[in-house]
Amino acid sequence: MDLNHLSLFTAVAETASFTEAARRLGVPKSTVSRAIATLEADLGVRLLQRTTRAVALTTAGQAFLARVGPHLRSLTAAVGNVPELDEEPSGTLRLTATADFGTAVLAEILVGFCRRYPRVTLDMALTSRTVDLVKEGFDAAFRLLLAKPRDSGLIARKLVDLNMQYYAAPEYLLARGTPKTLDELGDHDSVSLTGGRPSLPSERVLAKTHTRLLADDGFFAREAVRQGMGIGLFPSFLAQQDVLTGKLVRVLPRWTLPTGGIFLVYPSGRHLPKKMVVLREHLTDALRARFQGAPKSTPT
């Protein structure tokens, strides 16, 4: 049974006129007539008594309106209150990211997003584990990856390149020497982030090092490197400020590791809510401006 037909029937019943019902709903009078005829045929009863001067409900029409009317009004109100149907993005977005990336990069960007879209609320979970987005009810995750994930149930949108580099404290390099080649790097102690190691040539190098610390939190691993525990492999956003202040030194600055990416990952589906669309656009512009100095994109 077509909800549009029910709406047209209710309008005719309330106005006692096909013409007024058509004017109220902004449709041709012929559309109203066809809808009522179809509805009566589906139900097998006459709902309206038509005369040349007026339209009145039959007994069956009165009973049908009494049952359907309240439910139709409730449904109409419920649909009207769905946030995604508003012109302005609204509603809650449940997001997850690692604590280091979330704090060092995302916080400032997401504050700007909330100021731009005041009707959107963010529910942010900072964790180092890989969250099951569908099972745990998350809208999206920020993931730092070396390759696009192959999960067919997820969409991964690369927002910006992720650069991984080696860093060490000046005191550590003074005591142990500064490696000049990949082979020399293999003679040093290392501090690494679990789940974030680059592939191919760097894996062979890391296998030769004496791993002193593995950590799932970038802030913890960075502090260990600051204290002279070894040479650390980090995303550049974790170390750039320390490099400027002299707390850390980039090791093998001429050697470039494979470039990964910062991905926005969300469940696949046909419909992407407006709040997610504007979040994705805002993040793309903000991250590119921060990491690449690229001009912001203009809406099309």
158 and 168 within one domain:
no
67 and 7 within one domain:
yes
What CATH number does the domain containing 140 carry? 3.40.190.10
Q: Which are the contacts of 265, defined by CB distance < 8 A and separation ≥ 6?
A: 133, 140, 141, 142, 143, 149, 154, 155, 156, 157
Which pLDDT band holds residue 298 (cuts at 50, 70, 90)?
very low
Q: Which are the contacts of 76, defined by CB distance < 8 A and separation ≥ 6?
A: 7
What range does the domain containing 144 cover?
A: 91-162+260-291
213 and 151 within one domain:
no
- Read off the pLDDT of residues 22-43 as tens digits, 9 standing for 90 and up: 888 777 888 888 888 998 888 8
The verdict on residue 277 lying in a domain is: yes
75 and 7 within one domain:
yes
The verdict on residue 299 lying in a domain is: no
- Read off the pLDDT of residues 82-136 as tens digits, 9 standing for 90 and up: 555 556 888 899 999 999 999 999 999 999 999 999 999 999 999 988 888 888 8
Q: Where are the alpha helices (DSSP H) in the chain?
A: 3-15, 18-25, 29-43, 59-80, 99-101, 107-116, 133-136, 170-176, 182-185, 201-208, 218-226, 236-245, 274-291
Q: Strand, coil or helix: what is 131?
A: coil
- % of the chain with per-residue pLDDT over 70: 84
The verdict on residue 300 lying in a domain is: no
Which pLDDT band holds residue 300 (cuts at 50, 70, 90)?
very low
Instruction: Give mean pLDDT, residues 221-249.
Output: 94
* Torsional sign, CA 193, 294, 290, 251: positive
Nearest alpha carbon to residue 140 among 118, 120, 163, 156: 156
Query: Of 81, 104, 132, which residue sits at a domain end?
Result: 81
99 and 74 within one domain:
no
112 and 191 within one domain:
no
The verdict on residue 68 lying in a domain is: yes
154 and 143 within one domain:
yes
The verdict on residue 107 lying in a domain is: yes
Question: Under a CB-based contact definition with an 8 Å cutoff, are residues 9 and 27 in contact?
Answer: no
Tell me the residue type at 256: T
- Read off the pLDDT of residues 41-95 as tens digits, 9 standing for 90 and up: 888 888 988 876 778 889 888 888 888 877 766 665 555 445 555 568 888 999 9
Domain count, the chain: 3
Q: Could you give the angle at the alpha carbon of 144 between the alpha carbons of 141 and 149, nearest 5°?
A: 75
Instruction: Give mean pLDDT, residues 275-294.
Output: 86
Q: Which are the contacts of 273, defined by CB distance < 8 A and separation ≥ 6?
A: 83, 84, 91, 139
134 and 71 within one domain:
no
Instruction: Give mean pLDDT, residues 257-273.
Output: 80
